[in-house]
Chain A
């Protein structure tokens, strides 16, 4: 795809924990003592087109936040490459990483933790562009004012401290700070998860308006399926570090192909009248330290067969626009 802004190619991320002294001693005695390896991301391949909002959905431990951090250049991938506009984002080439991290900006979940409590919000917003010389020093305060207005706040708020704002307003400030860097790509990691419902709608509206007006490209990481459906063009479903399904939002919600996607949809409560029975997924998410062999979902999958225990399903094209990693769509489970 030539028009894709972000391409993630076979990216894996492993976190290794070195054993502590006691574990090393115990390991020497028993002959073990291997470092513990967490497979946070395994072989993820994705493209995000310019102007597209891609949702990344999954439960805790599925690797969605790690993916966001790899894209933002916070973690270097263990394998594979991440390219932004044809140039690699990697930590190894230090100079390049610094240049690129200004083009990818992240918005975090907790606006109480992500803003410096002792810094006036105007300073917080101006710090990045000033350091990277994105805008001339004499127009910084003007720019801060217009950014604040762009996110629905008043320019005069630049002199206030974060504690003078509510959660929703702080998240607006975090968005203004990200936009100040004139990024190519936004990574939103559960950006509305900690907001109350009435405030969440305000921030989602703001995000959708900005996205359309500025033509922003975004990776929208969330566990909330209804929010993702509302704001995203395409959705990637992740399970235990792997991409299991990727499809346009509309198709995915109408007809999920992967059994995990269907099970996830079935366990989400929806607002409606009348009782409903929760068709819960059996069992728990396995540990990313010891992922099960074959398909990671097979221990919980109602349709698993012998092949699922043996062989890792590959991400295969299901139709023009969607891919799914399941043997059911790729030759059967027998």
Chain B
């Protein structure tokens, strides 16, 4: 099956007064229809900027300086601004952490959804409202016809996020980029939304990139996982591979530091130090100062992809079992 989204060598740089920072460094992955890719990383790892770079939404002083992004075979970086705008919202959509980034607080849900429908497809408003109602129904909103008349502030946080997902779905996009969409929600509401998202991928065949810091969420939701550190993908594989048999010391360290994997009360294995500032990355491998397996080689040369099934950016990957 050909990929719905293919990202290759994507590099995004921010040229600031205090120097140039590469927030996304040579990132490559692809997502097939109906699959969910979890893009995991800690703060400052570049996971969100990757999402924004795919959408063509990186603001000044940032810019995508290299690589390609292909959706359904169309190279997005070769499109004009106008064509890109047509692409966004129809073939490619985004869901943000805060649904109020998507929703207009002074418009009724139905009005703004119908507007989003009619931007891309000519149809009477009545039909557009019907499309909107169907989309709300798909994401599990009870009595969707009534919700169309509501304003965003009349809905709970979980409901607003569902509306934002419904808006992303309006044109049956091939690809949805979801940036921490359940992070601000309660676990019971998060559970409901994760169940709906899995169903969307399975039933409608949308390819989904789920950007998050939460390994537990991706391990239960995603088919494939990319782990990011300091702007790079350091490990990539199926969820079973990455979670069950991590090869990169950073992935191993992240998994080890999760309390649920240890006897209660015991000392948690921890990764020493803190995430590096992108403007002051160490030479060679950026994870080197925090890594117990680091050698002289890690100091002098940056690691390149070693691939045997899963991709690991490390000179001394852990043994596969």
Give A contacts to B, CB under 8 Å.
59-60, 166-169, 196-202, 204-205, 208, 223, 225-227, 229-231, 249-250, 263-264, 266-282, 284-285
Whether B191 pairs with A280 at a CB distance below 8 angstroms is yes
Which residues of chain A are near B266, meaning CB under 8 Å?
230
Whether B158 pairs with A284 at a CB distance below 8 angstroms is yes
Complex Cα spacing A271 to B220, Å: 7
Interface CB pairs A-B, < 8 A, 27:
A59-B188, A196-B43, A196-B213, A197-B213, A198-B270, A199-B42, A201-B269, A202-B270, A223-B187, A226-B259, A230-B265, A250-B264, A269-B219, A270-B220, A270-B260, A271-B261, A272-B219, A272-B220, A273-B240, A273-B243, A275-B220, A278-B191, A278-B220, A280-B188, A280-B195, A281-B192, A282-B192
Whether A249 pairs with B264 at a CB distance below 8 angstroms is yes
Whether B186 pairs with A197 at a CB distance below 8 angstroms is no
Query: Which 5 pairs between the two chains have the least Cβ-Cβ distance?
Result: A267-B191, A201-B257, A230-B259, A226-B260, A59-B186
Shortest C-beta distance, A132 to chain B (Å), equals 33
Q: Given A230-B259, A277-B195, do A271 and B216 touch, yes or no (CB 8 Å)?
A: yes
Which residues of chain A are near B195, meaning CB under 8 Å?
277-278, 280
B180-203 with Cβ < 8 A to chain A: 186-192, 194-195, 198
Cβ 8 A contact of A226, one of B42, B258, B270: B258
Main secondary structure on B side of the interface with A: helix
Complex Cα spacing A136 to B62, Å: 53
Whether B215 pairs with A271 at a CB distance below 8 angstroms is yes
Q: Given A168-B274, A199-B274, A204-B259, do A271 and B267 touch, yes or no (CB 8 Å)?
A: no
Most buried by A among B187, B239, B257: B187
> Who on chain A is nearest to B193 by CB?
A280
In the complex, number of A-B residue pairs with CB atoms less than 8 Å apart? 137
Which residues of chain B are near A266, meaning CB under 8 Å?
191
Which residues of chain A are near B198, meaning CB under 8 Å?
275, 278
Most buried by B among A225, A263, A274: A274
Is B105 in the interface zone, CB < 8 Å from A? no
B230-288 with Cβ < 8 A to chain A: 239-240, 243-244, 253-262, 264-271, 274-275
Most buried by B among A249, A266, A278: A278
Complex Cα spacing A281 to B219, Å: 20
Is B217 in the interface zone, CB < 8 Å from A? yes
Q: Given A269-B221, A273-B239, do A196 and B42 touch, yes or no (CB 8 Å)?
A: yes
Whether A197 pairs with B258 at a CB distance below 8 angstroms is yes
Is B18 in the interface zone, CB < 8 Å from A? no
Which residues of chain A are near B80, meaning CB under 8 Å?
none
Whether A198 pairs with B192 at a CB distance below 8 angstroms is no
Q: Given A231-B265, A277-B195, A280-B192, do A269 and B217 touch, yes or no (CB 8 Å)?
A: yes
Whether B187 pairs with A230 at a CB distance below 8 angstroms is no
